[in-house]
Amino acid sequence: MNQFTALTQQDERGICCIDLAGYLDAHTATELESIMSAAITNGCRRIVVNFADLEYISSAGLGVFMVFIESIRSDGGDIKLAAMKPKVFTVFDLLGFPVLFEIYPTVEEAKQAFPSLEA
């Protein structure tokens, strides 16, 4: 079993990158929810979720991003998704998530997509 892990790190521009790994399903979704909740409580409004090591995502896992997106966007922030494996992307794509979220091939591109604070 690929253990689910999620690590948060903040760069100098104030962008939080959450690295996901393993299986994201109904059981691990609550874990991700509390991690994201903690990041937002700490002031993170610009979040990039790195899917590079995520093997699987279920419908419950997708729901987690829906919980926060509205409030973050109303605060002027965003959640951007990056580096999905084709299988994971298919799930997002089938659901129509690309309409809702910006999805980038790499974490770097996702970070670059945030406007600089000075600007």
Instruction: Give me the least distance between CB of 88 and other proteins, in Å please.
Output: 12
Residues of the shown chain interacting with other proteins in the complex, contacts defined by CB under 8 A: 1, 23, 26, 29, 33, 56, 58-60, 62-64, 66-67, 70, 94-97, 99-100
Closest CA to 22 of 13, 14, 32, 12: 32
Would you say 55 or 109 has its CB closer to other proteins? 55
Count of residues making up the chain: 119
Would you say 88 or 107 has its CB closer to other proteins? 88
Would you say 76 or 96 has its CB closer to other proteins? 96
- The amino acid sitting at 51 is F
- Alpha-carbon distance of 7 to 18, in angstroms, equals 5
- For residue 42, give both structure tokens: 């700490």
